[in-house]
Amino acid sequence: MDIVPEYDDMVLWRAVEQSDHRAFSALYRRYYRDMVLFCGSYICDRQVCEDIVQNIFIRLWSGRGALAVRNFRMFLMKSARNACLNEMKRGGVAGNYADYVSRGGSMYADIEGYILYSDLESNMMEVLSSISPQYREVFVENRFKGRTCKEIAESLGLSYRTVEERLRKALKIIRSRLKEYDDRTKR
Amino acid sequence: MDEMMAVIRKSFTGGLSTDEEILLEKWLGSDEDNGREYSFLKSLHVWKNPPFAPDEVGDGRMPWRIRRLLLKSSIETNIFVRVYRIAACLLLIPLAGMLVWALTARPSNQDIVAMQEVRAPFGICSAVTLPDGSEVVLNAGSSLTFPAVFDGTSRAVELSGEAYFEVESCPDRPFIVRTGELDIVATGTSFNVEAYSGEDRIAVTMVEGKVGLYASDDRLIRTMVAEDRLVYFRNTGTVDETAGYSYRYISWKDGVLAFRNDPLDSILARLGRLYNVEFILLDENLAHKQFYATFNNESLESILKLLSMSDNVQFEQVSGTGSDQGIRKIYVMNKERH
């Protein structure tokens, strides 16, 4: 008998809205590290990122009755992203990607397909093992070993277009498989 | 594609030229799915090249400034919950009465002092009123023995297990709690005594007033005043006073289980007594894992759920135990085992 199913995000959030702090700490534990690392994609300072995430959680608690949260993780990521962009504007942290975003880059293009660190950590190997070796090979060479399509095409004796096509498909499949894992475990 | 990938990669680390920016923007705008692909690539980038070591990031234990925030609001909102809790505790009193083994006391014979014993079975805590009006809350798995009538000079009771005392003030008739190795002598005062047989420690936590602790040879070991806490070790006869007072040591009497970075093995010992289950620790590394949690009158299932949610520990009932097959047994193990 397994007596410990994970509550999903929204169940916990509804409890937080009723001022349940155990639910709040559960959400905190679930997302803290992933959110800090997500912030790290904007700001390379760990301490700054940790502060940003802690402040978001403080605001979540203080506003628990008043916030319209439909998808907890999305809400968290949007808050984190906005906080990072603000922090960069305010503190003049050496901007990279943020310059582009703040100048009007597609709204949330940087969030929707983002897979959290711990989800990649726990599911990537399983997803990779579930796709066809042809796609896997191209993906691993390109993403993990940093080789270009051209180099891969040469070493595998394939045409550039074939490699390109496989990589495109591989990315798509892997992304959607990882998303499935996400949706199954957390919402 | 290679060119686009290079631009995307560069956008993660910074330093895009204006031309490259325009290129990226065009690509993102050309297909709705490109935005999602972009952020997916970004998450892969963070995963493979984390901006700082993921292990350095705090482990998810909330910092004090957040915990304080939660604490504050729980005091505001939980007053009504508390009232219900007290009501629930009062309901247990008749139950405790049923458990009293009263050897009928006949006042005609003054020489024989009838003793009675109250037992709080595993899984239930009981409230007892002593002949002098003192109130005792007995924790699960504990027993208290006391005379049907206290004699004129002192009020002595015998405790095995844990109990919270609120003693009626009466300076010339001291109230004595005997635990075998240690006698706690009080006049009027509130205090908690934890003296489970089979455990080395006897812990006394003071809430109000003053008590004296005496060894079995009547030697005074210490006097304690309000908010003191002391642990006495039976085997060595030594005393540890470093442990400060805290509500957590007496919160059990209100149906509140408070763990403040307590190790899992001691948490399981308490839960086992309270819910009448036996825990079997399969992974030794878990024994010292610390937990910070507060539970208000909750079922064992929901406590275990929350414990396992907050750490790498899982619980599994041993099949064929529980209900009519004797005491329920629960395995405790690392999550990786599955």
Q: What is the ipTM of this complex?
A: 0.85
Identify which has the larger pLDDT, B14 or B231: B231
Nearest beta carbon to residue A109 from set B35, B294, B310: B35
Place of tokens 């949706």: A183
In chain B, the residue whose alpha carbon lies closest to the alpha carbon of A110 is B39
For an interface test with B, the pick among A17, A18, A37 (most B C-beta atoms closer than 10 Å) comes out as A37
Please check the confidence at residue A119 and state whether its pLDDT lies above 60: yes
What is residue B310's predicted lDDT score, i.e. its pLDDT?
66
Residue A10 to residues A54, A133, B61, B304, Cα–Cα distance (Å): 20, 37, 21, 20
- The pLDDT tens digits for B173-189 are 889 999 988 999 998 88
Q: Are residues B95 and B171 in the same domain?
A: yes
Q: Are residues B113 and B43 in the same domain?
A: no
Residue B228 to residues B163, B175, B202, B221, Cα–Cα distance (Å): 16, 18, 14, 14
| Interface A-B: count of C-beta contacts within 8 A | 184
Closest among B66, B109, B268 to A62, alpha carbons compared: B66
Residue A164 to residues A64, A135, A152, B7, Cα–Cα distance (Å): 47, 10, 10, 16
Please check the confidence at residue B133 and state whether its pLDDT lies above 50: yes
Read off the DSSP letter of residue A61: H
The CA distance from A142 to B6, in Å, is 11
Nearest beta carbon to residue B63 from set A54, A103, A164: A54
- The pLDDT tens digits for B264-292 are 988 898 888 888 888 998 888 888 888 77
Q: Are residues B30 and B77 in the same domain?
A: no
Q: Are residues B242 and B261 in the same domain?
A: no
Q: Looking at chain A from residue 12 to 71, which residues have their Cβ under 8 Å from any Cβ of chain B?
A: 19, 21-22, 24-26, 28-30, 32-33, 36-38, 40-41, 43-44, 46, 49-50, 54, 57-58, 61-62
State whether B73 and A21 contact (CB < 8 Å): yes
Non-local (6+) Cβ contacts of B296 within 8 A are: B78, B81, B85, B255, B256
Which H helix or E strand runs over A100? helix A97-102
Within an 8 Å CB–CB cutoff, is residue A172 touching chain B?
Answer: yes
Domain boundary among B13, B30, B56: B56
Q: Which residues of chain A neighbour B310 with C-beta distances below 8 Å?
A: 25-26, 29
Q: Are residues B52 and B70 in the same domain?
A: no
pLDDT range class, residue A187, cuts 50, 70, 90: very low
What is residue B244's predicted lDDT score, i.e. its pLDDT?
61
What is residue B37's predicted lDDT score, i.e. its pLDDT?
87
Q: Are residues B26 and B145 in the same domain?
A: no
Closest among A185, A146, A143 to A34, alpha carbons compared: A185
Whichever domain contains B322, its CATH number is 3.55.50.30
State whether B40 and A106 contact (CB < 8 Å): no
What is residue A110's predicted lDDT score, i.e. its pLDDT?
67
Helices (H), chain B: 2-13, 18-30, 32-48, 64-77, 79-98, 264-275, 300-310
Domain boundary among B219, B248, B277: B248
The CA distance from A33 to A36, in Å, is 5
For an interface test with B, the pick among A110, A123, A162, A167 (most B C-beta atoms closer than 10 Å) comes out as A110
Burial class of residue A167 in the structure, from the number of CB atoms within 10 Å of its CB (0-12 exposed, 13-18 middle, 19+ buried): buried
Identify which has the larger pLDDT, A83 or B336: A83
Please check the confidence at residue A7 and state whether its pLDDT lies above 60: yes
Instruction: Supply the mean pLDDT for chain A.
Output: 81
Read off the DSSP letter of residue A8: P
What is residue B295's predicted lDDT score, i.e. its pLDDT?
78
What is residue A55's predicted lDDT score, i.e. its pLDDT?
93
Q: Phi and psi for B185 in degrees, rounded to 5? A: -110, 120
Domain boundary among B212, B227, B248: B248
Q: Are residues B296 and B318 in the same domain?
A: yes
Please check the confidence at residue A2 and state whether its pLDDT lies above 50: no
State which residues form the domain around B215.
Answer: 65-248
Which of A33-42, B145-154, B320-329 comes out lowest in average pLDDT? Answer: B320-329
For an interface test with B, the pick among A112, A163, A180 (most B C-beta atoms closer than 10 Å) comes out as A112
- The pLDDT tens digits for A125-150 are 778 877 888 888 899 888 877 888 99
Q: Are residues B230 and B146 in the same domain?
A: yes
Contact B38, B28 (CB under 8 A): yes
What is residue B204's predicted lDDT score, i.e. its pLDDT?
92
Q: Are residues B195 and B169 in the same domain?
A: yes
Contact A163, A152 (CB under 8 A): yes
Q: Are residues B82 and B170 in the same domain?
A: yes
- The pLDDT tens digits for B214-243 are 988 888 888 898 888 898 988 888 888 765
Q: Are residues B197 and B298 in the same domain?
A: no
The two structure tokens encoding residue B47:
């995963």
**How many structural domains comprise chain B?**
3
Please check the confidence at residue B338 and state whether its pLDDT lies above 60: no
B209: left (phi over 0), alpha (psi -120 to 50) or beta: left
The CA distance from B82 to A113, in Å, is 46
pLDDT range class, residue A5, cuts 50, 70, 90: very low
Q: Looking at chain A from residue 87 to 146, which residues have their Cβ under 8 Å from any Cβ of chain B?
A: 94-97, 99-100, 103, 105-106, 108-117, 120-121, 124, 142-144
Q: Are residues B176 and B301 in the same domain?
A: no
Q: Which residues of chain A neighbour B24 with C-beta distances below 8 Å?
A: 100, 105
Whichever domain contains B142, its CATH number is 2.60.120.1440
- Report CA dihedral (B111, B113, B114, B118) to the nearest 10 degrees: 180
Domains and CATH numbers, chain A: 9-102 (1.10.1740.10), 117-185 (1.10.10.10)
